[in-house]
Amino acid sequence: MKTKDTGQIDKAVENFREHTGFTIEIDHYFHEDKDMDATGILHTGVKKIPLAIQFKKRVTIPILANIRNQFYHAEEQGILIAEYINPIMAERLKAMDIWFLDTAGNAYINALPVYIYIKGNKPAEEQATTPKLNRAFRATGLKVVFAFLCHPDLVNAPYRDIAQTAQVSLGAVGIVFKDLTGMGHIIDMGDRGRRLKNRKKLLERWQVAYPEQLRPKLETGRYRAPDPDWWRKADLHNLHAYWGGEVAADRLTHYLKPQTVTVYVDEKRISKLRAINKLRKDPNGDIEILKAFWDVEHESDRTDIVNPILAYADLMATGDPRNMETAQIIYERELAEHFRED
């Protein structure tokens, strides 16, 4: 956590005291890469509750999914502290029973007999500005980061090969290298080459940015098929197409009954995919078609589902509790061993 963010935590804690009369004592800040940003103790007057604290400038649905998972595994009671939590997000957090504070004085604490729920306080004007996004986590950069997450050894490949795999320009590769190196995610070890570091944190950052920055640019619209179960027998192999989202989750876990059918497909083959399966445009349809953003032409060992990383991100982006639960199953079964802390 950045040192300047400790000031925002302190401000939120002080506003919480002013609005409620209860105190939170911060006993440790973690400035290194940790799942939690701080620990503390909530004094309710009835009991003392140890806290595991996460700080976020902005709170989005994908961030919620990560926070809920991390709080689930924490020994202490988890609490989210943010610069500002709007009323809609406050309602979502309360529904998920995620405790929170913000610097505007909004809060949710469910420690019966103490129950606190404050929403609707407005942030100071200077806090309403959106922070500048690192270029590695804008649309083009996310393609490169995805390629690295799927193929960590790719960081040692020539820029031209990386650009081919990620379907970006050579210049974009250089920009992403510079940004990821500055963030400590790429380490240059001289004669031993380059190494991808803190991959779990990189995955989390990618998963949060993907639905906001890249996914909307890939969407081609909603569709409907005459046969609602068309996806159970459809053959995608010769179309350079892949099941994503809930269908991919069903294939990987057999735990989720898909409500939305997500297909990633080579842009040149979208029309063929639609024609073969008689898919028709429908803004309320249960099928979404997205353009594949990686090198589908030269992919080896291709299956009919996307990489589990992408299936995981698709599910987390929905904010649906059932999807998020299934995403966690995918993470534990398919990804955890590849993203151990390094």
The set of long-range contacts for 45-53, using a CB threshold of 8 Å and a minimum separation of 24, is 45/114, 46/113, 46/114, 47/111, 49/77, 49/111, 50/75, 50/76, 50/77, 51/24, 51/76, 51/77, 51/78, 51/79, 52/76, 52/77, 52/78, 52/79, 53/9, 53/26, 53/78, 53/79, 53/80, 53/81
Tell me the domains of the chain and their CATH numbers.
Answer: 3-127 (3.40.1350), 135-197 (1.10.10.10), 218-338 (3.30.460.40)
Length of the chain: 342
Nearest to 66 by CA among 334, 289, 312: 312
pTM of model > 0.85: no
Dihedral sign for Cα 236, 251, 196, 61, please: positive
Q: Please check whether residue 323 is in contact with residue 258, taking contact to mean a CB–CB distance below 8 angstroms.
A: no
Q: Please check whether residue 39 is in contact with residue 76, taking contact to mean a CB–CB distance below 8 angstroms.
A: yes
Question: What's the average pLDDT block by block, 10 residues per block, for the chain (342 residues)?
Answer: 78 93 92 80 92 90 80 91 91 92 95 93 62 83 97 95 96 95 92 92 92 94 95 90 97 94 96 96 96 88 91 90 90 90 61
pLDDT 10s digits, 85-107: 989 889 989 988 999 999 999 99
pLDDT of 36 reads: 86
User: How many C-alpha atoms does 40 have within 13 Å on its Cβ side?
Assistant: 21
Rounded to an integer, what distance in angstroms lies between the CA atom of residue 111 and that of residue 45? 11
DSSP 273-324: HHHHHT-EE-TT-SEEEEE--S--TT-SS--SB--HHHHHHHHHHH--HHHH
pLDDT of 127 reads: 46
Rounded to an integer, what distance in angstroms lies between the CA atom of residue 261 and that of residue 286? 6
- Residue written as token pair 């940015």: 209
pLDDT of 207 reads: 92
pLDDT of 180 reads: 96
Q: Report helix, strand or coil for 109.
A: strand
pLDDT of 32 reads: 65
CA distances (Å), origin 325, targets 251, 253, 276: 15, 11, 33
Q: Please check whether residue 189 is in contact with residue 196, taking contact to mean a CB–CB distance below 8 angstroms.
A: no
Cβ atoms < 10 Å from Cβ of 149: 21
Rounded to an integer, what distance in angstroms lies between the CA atom of residue 322 and that of residue 330? 13
Q: Please check whether residue 28 is in contact with residue 47, taking contact to mean a CB–CB distance below 8 angstroms.
A: no
| Contacting residues for 26 by C-beta, under 8 A, at least 6 apart | 9, 10, 13, 38, 39, 40, 53
- 248 burial class (0-12, 13-18, 19+ CB within 10 angstroms)? buried
